[in-house]
């Protein structure tokens, strides 16, 4: 991710390894592309016909340019028709993925007529270059060291990339945490990472160990952790800038591996369960980015961290637990554990009386059934809060769809022996989970983000790599910016 973005001269005077220029659909030349096409001559059209290149978003074609241009390779990047921030981010991601073997890339994509073009480009390019190859004997990290923005606009473009690079680095850090095998990220390891983040960006970090968790009456976290060999932790980040413009609380589900507990998952369904702490990873990344950028909003970040395992002391179906706010829960399915640890995290957040609580969790398969693998679900007890988060997500390029929170469905989580149970009817499971969480936020404006689908990207495309996506980090950063400007 250590790429230097700098200004360069005009396309006519520069030379180098790779030149990347945009092409709109139906092979309409974008900035710099017409100049390159004129230099290459009539044979280019036949070459692109043979490659099936028309300029659709996501199309990338390498054109040999030695002897014709002062660059070794010309990359034509399809950007589609009506380009917005997200589509430019995606096009830059395709470029980033194709250019990992190039040390030097010169481009004109920042010259597309769009406010914030350079920042969108930088974010997409850096995320497109992401690789998780820690455990490969022969990894293939990106070789790119420089991206040069060709004139005109190069100077302004290079200056606009700093914040985007900070956010991209935070997303990459979250991806690393998510992709790390569970054996390498026990709760105490993630807690140590949180402390490291806090030291590097000037954020206070408080780590609760098992005795602290018991003393603080975090019954949900204690219950889920009962079957785990590795002891639980709860991390609290406290970012307090001078003269904050608002107070935002973030709560992330941190199940570092989810076997389902005694309600054991099938082997196939366990394969991706190292990623069940994606909500916590998003909070880690968001806090790092918000503090690094110096956004003037107070942030409380809470991540309960534990494994959900079927050890000899594991929580049993039918057991009753008492989370932080005192409401009792009959646990009928130990695989509905995320809401139990979030109950404690949300209770702690509500006690701090923030302006807004946002929680993120890979919470329900039902949400993925409803919205697929690339759109998260959103529930809220406050329309204004929901609108703020949706607007932030739209700017970040992360898709959410608001779902209903109907009061009459609440009876589905009534229990005969406790205040509530942790599951409802088979149908509408994501709604029942949201209704359960609502019981722990009191009157504080709250938004629940179920990221069970997009937290685990199904296949590599544009700036997303297959696996942990870091989904939610960019939305939270944009939300903090919005609160700071309110």
Q: Which of 148, 322, 339, 474 is catalytic?
A: 339
Exposed, middle or buried: residue 32 (CB in 10 Å: 0-12, 13-18, 19+)?
Answer: buried
Q: Is 339 a catalytic residue?
A: yes
Q: Measured at the alpha carbon of residue 196, what is the angle toward residues 190 and 197, in degrees to the nearest 5?
A: 90
Q: Which of 104, 110, 89 is nearest to 147 (CA)?
A: 104
Task: Please list the residues that pair with 255 across neighbouring strands.
Answer: 306
Q: Which of 218, 227, 219 is nearest to 308 (CA)?
A: 227
What whole-number distance in Å separates Cα of residue 377 and Cα of residue 80?
28
In this structure, the number of other CB atoms found within 10 A of the CB of residue 486 comes to 10
Q: How far is CA 198 from CA 7, 170, 285, 300, 306, in A?
A: 33, 13, 11, 12, 20
Angle between helices 161-179 and 278-293 (to 10 degrees): 160
What whole-number distance in Å separates Cα of residue 470 and Cα of residue 462?
14
What whole-number distance in Å separates Cα of residue 20 and Cα of residue 99?
9
Task: Please list the residues that pair with 402 across neighbouring strands.
Answer: 378
Q: Which of 56, 68, 146, 265 is catalytic?
A: 265
What whole-number distance in Å separates Cα of residue 453 and Cα of residue 372?
6
What whole-number distance in Å separates Cα of residue 38 and Cα of residue 159?
31
HSE-CB for 18 with a 13 A CA cutoff: 24
For 71-99, the DSSP string reads EEEEEEEEEESS--HHHHHHHHHHHHHHT
Q: Which of 66, 81, 67, 79 is nearest to 32 (CA)?
A: 79
What whole-number distance in Å separates Cα of residue 208 and Cα of residue 198?
15
Q: Which of 456, 450, 454 is nearest to 432 (CA)?
A: 450
Exposed, middle or buried: residue 261 (CB in 10 Å: 0-12, 13-18, 19+)?
Answer: buried
Q: Is 481 a catalytic residue?
A: no
What is the distance of C-alpha 59 from the center of its chain? Answer: 25
DSSP state of 153: S
Contact of 362 with 452, CB cutoff 8 Å: yes
Q: Which residues are catalytic?
A: 265, 339
């Amino acid at each position: 991710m250590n790429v230097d973005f700098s200004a360069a001269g005009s396309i006519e005077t520069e030379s180098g390894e790779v030149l990347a220029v945009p092409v709109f659909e139906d092979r309409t030349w974008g900035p710099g592309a017409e100049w390159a096409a004129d230099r290459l001559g009539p044979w280019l059209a036949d070459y692109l016909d043979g490659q099936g290149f028309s300029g659709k978003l996501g199309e990338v074609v390498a054109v040999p340019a030695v002897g014709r241009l002062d660059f070794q390779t010309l990359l034509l990047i399809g950007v589609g028709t009506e380009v917005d921030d997200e589509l430019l981010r995606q096009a830059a991601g395709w470029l980033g993925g194709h250019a990992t073997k190039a040390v030097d890339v010169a481009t004109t994509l920042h010259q597309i007529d769009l406010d914030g073009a350079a920042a969108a480009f930088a974010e997409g390019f850096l995320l497109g270059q992401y690789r998780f190859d820690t455990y490969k004997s022969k990894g293939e990290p990106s070789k790119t060291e420089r991206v040069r923005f060709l004139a005109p606009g190069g100077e302004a473009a290079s200056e606009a990339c700093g914040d985007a690079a900070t956010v991209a680095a935070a997303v990459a850090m979250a991806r690393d945490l998510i992709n790390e095998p569970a054996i390498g990220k026990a709760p105490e390891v993630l807690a140590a990472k949180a402390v490291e983040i806090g030291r590097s960006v000037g954020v206070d970090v408080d780590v609760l160990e098992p005795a602290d968790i018991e003393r603080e009456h975090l019954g949900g976290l204690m219950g889920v952790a009962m079957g785990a060999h590795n002891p639980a932790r709860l991390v609290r980040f406290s970012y307090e800038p001078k003269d904050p413009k608002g107070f935002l609380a973030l709560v992330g589900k941190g199940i570092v591996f989810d076997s389902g507990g005694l309600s054991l998952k099938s082997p196939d369904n366990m394969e991706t369960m190292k990623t069940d702490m994606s909500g916590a990873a998003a909070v880690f990344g968001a806090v790092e980015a918000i503090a690094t950028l110096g956004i003037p909003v107070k942030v409380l970040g809470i991540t309960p961290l534990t494994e959900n395992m079927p050890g000899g002391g594991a929580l049993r179906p039918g057991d009753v637990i008492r989370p932080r706010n005192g409401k009792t829960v009959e646990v009928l399915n130990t695989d509905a554990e995320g809401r139990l640890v979030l109950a404690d995290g949300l209770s702690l957040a509500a006690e701090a009386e923030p302006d807004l609580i946002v929680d993120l969790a890979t919470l329900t398969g039902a949400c993925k059934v409803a919205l697929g693998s690339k759109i998260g679900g959103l529930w809220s007890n406050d329309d204004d809060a929901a609108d703020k988060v949706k607007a932030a997500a739209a700017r970040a390029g992360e898709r959410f769809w608001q779902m209903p929170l109907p009061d009459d469905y609440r009876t589905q989580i009534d229990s005969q022996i406790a205040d509530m149970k942790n599951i409802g009817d088979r149908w509408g499971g994501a709604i029942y989970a949201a209704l359960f969480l609502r019981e722990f936020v009191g009157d504080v404006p709250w938004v629940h983000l179920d990221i069970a689908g997009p937290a685990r990207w199904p296949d590599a495309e544009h700036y997303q790599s297959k696996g942990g996506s870091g989904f939610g980090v960019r939305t939270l950063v944009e939300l903090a910016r919005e609160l700071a400007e309110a």
